[in-house]
Chain A
């Protein structure tokens, strides 16, 4: 852990909101980008990132110095993003399962589209079209997190293991399998 992080965490543990503010300032973009890489759009990523800092502030007293603050905040972000995606899928499933209106009934409901898809379409359409993003969407949450943390955030295998909460051997397996899957897709596309 960098010296400044250690000092700031100590102060934050004593309730110094300004010290925590400095940590927020330092990690706000990293957290936002990790959330984006895991969720695929900035609207959700922003919500998740804000909750990540709230969670971190509420639980800073439980933070142990065994790992770095960076690893800890990445762990919270990864878990929050995975949880967000799961609940979003459940909400989507519920929305799709709604009974459709019959002919002649309230027609306006027909115009309702999935609000999440609509926002994504508006803001992230072009981004979602890229191949990597589409392939990564097919990965399991842990595989996706390991892949993103390795290729987009330059984390070591040991760090990723701490962030996603598994052993390094599993992390290597996730990364290798995800890489081979992507490689195959890239070949097929050509």
Chain B
């Protein structure tokens, strides 16, 4: 019997595994191919013989033993004796839905608590931080005060040294520019701080400066020379300039 190149398809054909197209094509081939027909007969005969063969059943004892061993190994509930195993079984391995929800809730609460702790820590002023903060604040205030005293000293020095008649224009320009430095506002602000800090010396000094500044800023146009002369005299008499200078040189 000559070999056929389609002989192995006979297996799939016999067991009904060919697609309808291939099956039709193979059926046409089978009609003319003696080799494939012979194979078909062999498959049919074998299949008939095998169907007659009944697989011997295992002995009951053996089957029972086999099934029992598998049951014990894989799907029999194992008795849990240790309390650690009990806890792990109840809470980790096989927790009920209630326990699972409770676990999630506890985790959430712990998360919130840790989060809160972190936030509180970041917002609670540390003592060291507070002290350094005060130091920074006081040094800034001191700089501001010194800057203010220097500006005041400069204008008062000019008023005290210049001639109200000859240098009238210069003095008026100085007064005008000092207005833009907000000297009155700074005086009021610093005076309040001096009062709060109970620094009486500074408080009194700022009071006097305020009065002079008010006089300078409120001068009437037709009384410039007269007012300037009065202020010049006041500055000399009050020793305000000396006080400002000394205050400027010391730590307040």
> Is A9 in contact with chain B by the CB < 8 A criterion?
no
Query: Which candidate, B50-58, B179-187, B214-222, B227-235, is the interface stretch facing chain A?
Result: B50-58
Give the residue among B7, B49, B66, B74 with the most A Cβ atoms within 10 A.
B74
Residues in B neighbouring A17, C-beta threshold 8 A: 74-75
Contacting pair B50 A24 (CB below 8 A): no
> Is A179 in contact with chain B by the CB < 8 A criterion?
yes
Contacting pair A32 B58 (CB below 8 A): yes
> Is B47 in contact with chain A by the CB < 8 A criterion?
yes
Which of B53, B58, B74 contacts A24, CB < 8 Å? Answer: B74
> Is A175 in contact with chain B by the CB < 8 A criterion?
yes
Contacting pair B70 A42 (CB below 8 A): no
Nearest CB on A from B22, distance (A): 13
Contacting pair A18 B75 (CB below 8 A): yes
> Is B167 in contact with chain A by the CB < 8 A criterion?
no
Residues in A neighbouring B58, C-beta threshold 8 A: 32, 36, 42, 45-46
Contacting pair B74 A57 (CB below 8 A): yes
Contacting pair A43 B62 (CB below 8 A): yes
**What residue of chain A has the Cβ atom nearest to residue B78's Cβ?**
A17
**What residue of chain A has the Cβ atom nearest to residue B58's Cβ?**
A42
> Is A140 in contact with chain B by the CB < 8 A criterion?
no
Which of A22, A123, A126, A156 contacts B59, CB < 8 Å? Answer: A123
Within 8 A of A (CB), among B1-35: 7-12, 15, 17
Residues in B neighbouring A169, C-beta threshold 8 A: 8
Contacting pair B46 A151 (CB below 8 A): yes
Residues in A neighbouring B46, C-beta threshold 8 A: 151, 179, 182-183, 186
Residues in B neighbouring A130, C-beta threshold 8 A: 53
Which of A20, A123, A132, A156 contacts B15, CB < 8 Å? Answer: A156
Contacting pair B12 A172 (CB below 8 A): yes
> Is A120 in contact with chain B by the CB < 8 A criterion?
no
Which of B8, B55, B63, B71 contacts A176, CB < 8 Å? Answer: B8
**What residue of chain A has the Cβ atom nearest to residue B93's Cβ?**
A15
Contacting pair B15 A150 (CB below 8 A): yes
Which of A46, A54, A152, A172 contacts B66, CB < 8 Å? Answer: A46
| A42, B62: Cα distance in complex, Å | 8
> Is A109 in contact with chain B by the CB < 8 A criterion?
no
| A157, B18: Cα distance in complex, Å | 10
Within 8 A of B (CB), among A20-45: 20-22, 24-25, 28, 32-33, 36-37, 42-43, 45
> 3 smallest A-B Cβ distances: which pairs?
A21-B75, A172-B8, A21-B74
Listed in ascending order, the chain B residues whose CB lies under 8 Å from chain A are 7-12, 15, 17, 39, 42-43, 45-47, 49-50, 53, 55-56, 58-59, 62-63, 65-67, 69-71, 73-76
A-B contact pairs, 22 of them (CB 8 A): A17-B74, A20-B74, A21-B75, A22-B75, A28-B66, A32-B58, A36-B55, A43-B62, A50-B69, A50-B70, A53-B73, A53-B74, A123-B62, A132-B50, A156-B15, A169-B8, A176-B7, A176-B10, A179-B39, A179-B42, A179-B43, A182-B49
